[in-house]
Structure 1
């Protein structure tokens, strides 16, 4: 059996605070982008607005308790990020968060 990681996004948030280059709009339709509240969209309209490296839609404290304020209308890149995937683990490492094998 291959070990999996017991990771909970709502106690992490690292991927949402790791890089301002991460939350970019790529394959979303104009209609989908219109659903994202304007104050969360970057001035250049190419992605989510970030405060430093952190997405402005991330609420809470990384590594403790977090949530996405636009979860239902989040960009495709955010939907594609899965707990324990390569991007997740890079972001977790940057915040010194470890995964627990189960």
Structure 2
């Protein structure tokens, strides 16, 4: 069984990428993301406040990158955030995760060693 979620002590993606998504995910359009936490970036897309800047950091990110972090709107986060996985979740490498971590001097995540399969006698 894997250790604790590596995202809880990382947060690099939230402070490295622009988090943009379709405006229909905003609360005023029937979605979940609070309107006051987004800014318009195109006619059909918004971005999380703070991530539209040259040195991005999502306004919903709490804590210190690489130490301990959390998302203040975790249950209301956008599809962009919901779909971004740490490297090696379900054995899938995510080079974007590695890139964000590297920007903060964090090493890339490593795949979990294969769990030993113990045959069951029937």
State the TM-score, normalized to the length of structure 2: 0.66
Structure 2: 5+ residue stretches without partners: 88-93, 113-122
Q: Alpha-carbon deviation of 1:9?
A: 0.2
CA RMSD in angstroms comes to 2.5
The separation in 2 between residues aligned to 1:80 and 1:17, in whole angstroms, is 16
Higher relative contact order at CA 8 Å, sep ≥6: structure 1 or structure 2?
1
Higher strand share: 2
| Matching of residue 77 in structure 1 with residue 86 in structure 2 | no
After superposition, what is the alpha-carbon deviation per residue over 1:20-73, rounded to whole angstroms, capped at 9, x for unaligned?
Answer: x2x1013854311xx322331125561110164001000000000000111111
State the TM-score, normalized to the length of structure 1: 0.77
Instruction: Mark the structure with the bigger radius of gyration.
Output: 2
Runs of at least 4 residues of structure 1 off by over 4 A? none
